[in-house]
């Protein structure tokens, strides 16, 4: 599987994502600057966590204006896989690649800790190696992770099986405990927790490994 990680100004999890991918694929991950206009020939594009553009205006709003976003949208439209983690999830909602928005945490405080998640759906290229109903533990680190969408959108996500991860103990006030969703084609996923930080037991656990292994098996 060939992969690329997008680097925005103030990204701080881009190297984490690349390291996780390289450790599991055995291949070099392409690091793509946000003002590049084209993507390399890759199967997976990762929008990493961090504070793109310092989170000015709204989280992800300025990153959505970056030149590379046109190529990412084209990649997704052709069926290419896109994974947005934390700030990357915020960018995906700002770009319209995923519905809804990420607001300030309900407690108005930055949350940084491990959280338990329920795997709601396994019918996606991202979650197919988990068991439905399985509990996994990923870390979160965000101040604006409170997922919001109107009731009609939430009902549609639920009825179409597009809520793939749900918080067991909601840390941020997200509607219906939503932690991760996919688009209609199920080739774009956004989630606030960080699977790339739990692929090695030396750095806290391996619950995130199956997400990347599923992508590798599907896209290789």
- Give me the residue label for tokens 């870390």: 139
- Domains defined along the chain, listed by start: 3-219 (3.40.50.880)
Of these residues, 94, 121, 144, 196, which one is catalytic?
Answer: 196
- Residue 10: the pLDDT is 85
Contact at 8 Å (CB) between 98 and 181? yes
- Residue 56: the pLDDT is 67
Q: Report the distance separating Cα 184 and Cα 207, nearest Å.
A: 25
The pTM of the full predicted model, rounded to 2 decimals, is 0.96
| 196 annotated active-site | yes
Task: Please list the pLDDT of the chain residue by residue as tens digits (220 residues).
Answer: 999 999 998 899 999 999 999 999 999 999 999 999 999 999 999 999 988 766 666 767 778 788 999 999 999 999 999 999 999 999 999 999 999 999 999 999 999 999 999 999 999 999 999 999 999 999 999 999 999 999 999 999 999 999 999 999 999 999 999 999 999 999 999 999 999 999 999 988 999 999 999 999 999 9
Of these residues, 34, 75, 142, 194, which one is catalytic?
Answer: 194
Q: Report the distance separating Cα 80 and Cα 72, nearest Å.
A: 9
Measuring CA to CA, how many Å separate 41 from each of 30, 44, 45, 181, 190?
Answer: 10, 9, 10, 25, 22
Q: How, if at all, do strands 188-191 and 81-85 pair?
A: parallel
- Residue 53: the pLDDT is 66
Could you report the per-residue pLDDT of 94-118, keeping only the tens digit for each?
A: 999 999 999 999 999 999 999 999 9
- Residue 65: the pLDDT is 84
Of these residues, 13, 75, 86, 120, which one is catalytic?
Answer: 86
Contact at 8 Å (CB) between 95 and 69? yes
Residue closest to 34 by CA, chosen among 63, 74, 2, 76: 63
Q: Beta-carbon neighbour count of residue 15 at 10 Å?
A: 15
| 75 annotated active-site | no
């Amino acid at each position: 599987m060939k992969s690329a990680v997008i680097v925005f100004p103030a990204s701080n999890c881009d190297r984490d994502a690349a390291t996780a991918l390289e450790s599991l694929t055995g291949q070099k991950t392409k690091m793509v600057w946000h003002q590049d206009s084209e993507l390399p020939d890759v199967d997976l594009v990762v929008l990493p966590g961090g504070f793109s553009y310092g989170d000015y205006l709204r989280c992800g709003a300025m990153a959505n204006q970056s030149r590379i976003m046109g190529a990412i949208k084209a990649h997704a439209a052709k069926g290419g896989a896109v994974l947005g983690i934390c700030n990357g999830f915020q960018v995906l909602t700002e770009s319209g690649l995923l519905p809804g928005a990420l607001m300030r945490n309900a407690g108005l405080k930055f949350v940084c800790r491990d959280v338990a998640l329920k795997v709601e759906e396994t019918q996606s290229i991202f979650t197919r190696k988990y068991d439905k109903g399985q509990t996994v533990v990923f870390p979160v680190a965000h101040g604006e992770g409170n997922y919001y969408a109107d009731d009609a959108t939430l009902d549609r996500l639920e009825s179409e099986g597009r809520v793939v991860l749900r918080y067991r103990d909601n840390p941020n006030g997200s509607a219906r405990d939503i932690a991760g969703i996919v688009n209609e084609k199920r080739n774009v996923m956004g989630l606030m927790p960080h699977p790339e930080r739990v692929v090695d037991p030396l750095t806290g656990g391996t619950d995130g490994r199956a997400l990347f292994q599923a992508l590798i098996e599907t896209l290789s």
